[in-house]
Amino acid sequence: MRREELGDLVVAQIYSYRAEAELARSALEANGIEAMVEADDCGGQRPLLGANLGVRLLVRRADERKAKSFLE
C-alpha cells in the first residue's frame, strides 16, 4: 500500500527493526486496520539504520486509537 492511498497518517508505534514493524503491520491488517511501514534503512539494505532512526508503523488517523489499543 502506498502512503498516498492511506490518507492522513499517524505513527502508531516505533520499532527498532523492520521485521518487528512488518509483523505488527500484518497483525493489524489481519484485524481490518490498514497500515504501512516507513523506515530510512536504504530499502532494507542497512537494517542497523532502522535501529538508530526507528522504523515507524503508520495508520490512518481514524484508526489510531484502535491500532494502539491492539498493539498494546
Tens digits of residue pLDDT in 20-53: 999 999 999 999 999 999 887 555 556 555 555 7
Cell digits for 38? 516507513
Say which CATH architecture domain 3-71 belongs to: 2-Layer Sandwich (3.30)
Q: How many CB atoms lie within 10 A of CB 27?
A: 14
Which residues have CB under 8 Å from 48's CB, separation 6+? Answer: 41
pLDDT band at 18 (very low <50, low <70, confident <90, very high): confident
**How far apart, in whole angstroms, are the C-alpha atoms of residue 51 and residue 19?**
11
pTM confidence score: 0.79
